[in-house]
Structure 1
Amino acid sequence: MKDDLKIFSGNSNIPLAQKICDAMDRPLSHLAISKFSNDNMHVQVQDNVRERDVFVIQSFTHPVSDHIMELLVTLDALRSASARRVTAVIPYFSYARSDKKDASRISIVGRLMADLLKTAGADRVLTMDLHAAAVHGFFSVPVDHLTASPLIMDYFRKNLDLDNVVAVATDAGGAKRVGHFATRLNVPMAIIDKRRVSDTEVKQGLVVGDVVGKDVIIYDDEISTGGTLLTTVDTLKEAGVGNIYVGATHPVLCGQAVENLGKSSVKEVVVTNTVDIPREKQIDMISCLSVAPILAEAIRRIHTGESVGELFPD
């Protein structure tokens, strides 16, 4: 009897892919990924995938364009190799930040990525904690949108006294996400009044909510440069909070983010491994949780035709 399920990985996050395979007690299938001398991408599928159900794991992380091309070329190679169904597993979908036309003569790149994935051969997409939920609607193939928030909430439940904790949204745009987080933790919520002055400058004002003398958890979908986060920390300190904790799904940690976090008054940063954190960025204040069991169970359910939504009951 043939093995009907195959799992492949691009180069963006091989440790996560291996953990997913370990959780499913199956091997990671083989791809040969290289570049020609003219910098063109070359991918060869090294396992038989004819009439198999195939999953390809690839986060859109640095170098983003290379990793996107790896995924697109791999999807096309799998389709050419007669895979029965191909699912693009994208733990971190960075172009979800480009979800609207908020300036003249620009592309809504989130929609473009959705079109490219389908054209390349993706029959469905599995992703986690999109920056903007509207991006889900850009796809014309089925999308399973997972969340790491229960994992992060469980960590805080076990490690904090929640009786004196307030969940904080860095701006009004994150209020719905943080509201759900606060409700599930059964803690109050506060919002920072944030105004974007330019593409690179953010101005924050008042804290909306009672935070004086409280420990706070700043919760967001990702930490990129950390600029908004650090400004939020300063605003909260001026408002008289106690300990400051941070929870986020995607530890992108661009530029000087880790160095700046290390110098800040943040007590702990809790993230997941949707993005592979390089060794030089693994400082003591960062606690990294594994989403491999969640993704592994979602892959199993997609393969067997079971409900994925039941993983996250309301």
Structure 2
Amino acid sequence: MSSLVKPVIAIHGGAGTMRSKDMTEEKEKAYRHGLTLALEAGRAVLKANGSAVDAVTASVMALEDDPLFNAGRGAVYTTNRTQEMDAAIMDGRDRNAGAVAGIFGPRHPVLAARAVMEKTEHVFLAGEGANEFCREIGLEIKPAEWFYTERRMKALEQEMERRRNGGEENDPSRRHGTVGAVACDVFGHVAAATSTGGMTAKFPGRVGDSPVIGAGTWADDKTCAVSATGHGEYFIRYAAAHEIDARIRWGKETLEEAAQSVIKDLVKIGGEGGLIAVNAKGEVCLPFNSEGMYRAWMGQDGEIHTGIY
């Protein structure tokens, strides 16, 4: 099969981000380094003529291993001081998809989502059933101490104290921690993957948009691949990722027009966050309406770019 486009890939490490006044030069360097490593993992797959599905999987796995980001090892805590992780993946060739919610133990939740897609007749597994499935198929399982980070526990304690004192929320990044990747491979196929620990101090059992196909994750070769990050409740209510697809498919909007419009429309209902999107033409779009969004991308120039604010 001949190459249709030069491969492209984009990743995000969450919108809302650390407030600019709290960002030190050292912290910024660490975030950009983590984003670069994760992008390079996916770029290497694409440069070897690998599939978009393999590329987004590789990038998200790298982000899940980096405790700076709210997924896998860096997952935040619920009000019960537990960690519950969600993930999804979607293949633009045939809309095949897999998702998991409320899992704990698998080192890489994105691999759990991919296993649901490839090894079962289902799309979505949740809770203990999903955990048992992960163990049965032999995914790498890590103990609780492997996922523990002092930073995330401190964030939980601060949020619980704020609630007890009736204080105003002043850190939007509490709601927006997610990682994701979208890619278009040399054959013009797109894919998307998203993984998250959710919201700091969320109710146990809460599920956001990340594992919801059509809300936080979407891929179809005919339109686009999308991975979202933000206040998940609003992205679910707006079916944000599929809304972009619909605007392209039926409204004949460009990728840029559709993605930017959806992010602007979310503001009207109180939704804050951002998304990354690509299409089979190799176009890349990374809109957000929050103060910032951790992001990195490789366009058709083949170069790695990173951004925060």
Instruction: Indicate the TM-score class for this superposition, using the shorter chain for normalisation.
Output: under 0.3
TM, length-normalised to structure 2: 0.28
Q: Higher Cα Rg: structure 1 or 2?
A: 1
TM, length-normalised to structure 1: 0.27
- Quick check: which one's strand share is greater? 1
Which structure carries more relative contact order (alpha carbon 8 Å, separation 6+)? 2
